Amino acid sequence: MINIAQNPNLFQVTSQSLSTKNFLIDLEIEIIGGLIIDCHAIYRINDELKSEYFSTQGHKKIIQCIKDLHNQGKIPDLNAVTLEMMNRGELELIGGRVGIANYLKSTVSATNIDQHLQLLIENYNRSDYFDSGKLKPSPAINRIKEIYNSDRSPEQIQLDLLDLQEETGMSDRKWYEFSRNAIREGKKIRYKLDITRLSGITNQLDRSIEIDAIAEIYRKSRKTIEADILTLENPVVELNKSKE
């Protein structure tokens, strides 16, 4: 059983041993048990606690259950968690009533729950991929931003996004819901890059052709694009507008 309080050097040792799967499972069990034993422990880690940090489907489900109960203003004690897991049809994922009771047997207290969670997060962040080989959400978001913050053509961007979706293993609907905000921000970044590039084109005919192309890509009017170029080239104009 893990007890960092009795051995302050253990935290340093275990930080270097995160590749040990059994150790991680023990951490997860102690976090779950600590949350059920001490109903106030959730207040200390709720903001950072995410089911995706946990390795097994059962652990993911019970963590989400505990968070949901807490967010509903309910106390996530043994009875509440057991009943909620049963209502969701997920109790057998953790071994039924016996399984959920075993979490408590394996946990002394929630004293070190903060450190335990930090170790899980550290391990999670070490790899961009799940054990299944699928790309994790956080690095996927970063990759979307990288794709737009580049000199890729619009066609290449679409191909790269399709490849990225395949890496995550998400369905079209889930990918849309997951990626739309990041793609929206990515398009804003790319638009600024394109406006900067347009401002460097001195030949008026070439610039006009490029503006037409950009207008079609971003579904903006020529007037809007020309105004954005003017603002970039003459920031004083925008400053004067804001003062009027």
Structure confidence by residue, pLDDT tens digits, 141-160: 999 988 988 878 888 899 99
Cβ(36)–Cβ(28) under 8 Å? no
Once rounded to an integer, what is the mean pLDDT over residues 44-57?
90
Structure confidence by residue, pLDDT tens digits, 84-106: 999 999 999 888 999 888 888 88
Q: Report all structural domains of the chain as residue ranges with CATH numbers, in order of start.
A: 10-126 (1.10.860.10), 137-243 (no CATH)
- Residue 136 DSSP class: P
Terminal CA-to-CA distance of the chain, rounded, Å? 68
Structure confidence by residue, pLDDT tens digits, 183-239: 999 889 889 989 998 989 989 999 999 999 999 888 899 999 999 998 887 865 444
Note the helical H segments in the chain.
10-15, 21-37, 41-45, 57-71, 78-87, 96-105, 113-126, 137-148, 154-168, 172-199, 204-218, 222-233, 235-243
Cα–Cα distance measured from residue 111 to residue 76, given in angstroms and rounded to the nearest whole number:
17
